[in-house]
Chain A
Amino acid sequence: MSATKEDAEKNLKAFLKEHGREGLLELFLTNYLFELVMYYLHSEKNKPAVNDDTAYRFYVDGRDRVYPAEKIEAFKRELRTECRKKAVAIVTIIKEKELLDKLEREILEDPQIAQLASAAFQSMVSGS
Chain B
Amino acid sequence: MGTSRAAKAPPTRKWNQVIGSLKAPERDAATVIDLTFSIAMHTLPPVNPIAIPIVYGISEGLRFAADVEESGIDVAVKKEALRLSGKYIIPSISDSLWNLAANRIDLNYANSAFGRLAEQAFKQTMNQVLSKGAAALEGES
Contact = CB atoms under 8 A, between A and B. Distances in A.
A95 to B, nearest CB: 13
Contacts of B113: 39
B79 interface: no
B1 interface: no
A126 B6 contact: no
A26 B137 contact: yes
Nearest to B15: A50
Contact of B22 (A30, A44, A57): A57
Contact of B140 (A5, A27, A42): A27
B69 A16 contact: yes
Nearest to A108: B104
Contacts of B129: 11-12, 15, 24, 27
Contact of A31 (B27, B93, B124): B124
Contacts of A118: 48, 51-52, 55
Contacts, number: 237
Given A28-B125, A114-B52, A107 B59 contact: yes
Given A11-B129, A32-B118, A23 B137 contact: yes
Interface residues of B, number: 77
Contact of A103 (B22, B27, B32, B62): B62
Interface in A3-43: 3-19, 21, 23-37, 39-43
A75 B69 CA distance: 37
Interface of B: 5-13, 15-16, 18-19, 22-25, 27, 29-30, 32-34, 36-38, 40-42, 48, 50-52, 54-59, 61-63, 65-66, 68-69, 72-74, 77, 84, 87-90, 93, 104, 113-114, 117-118, 120-122, 124-125, 128-134, 136-138, 140
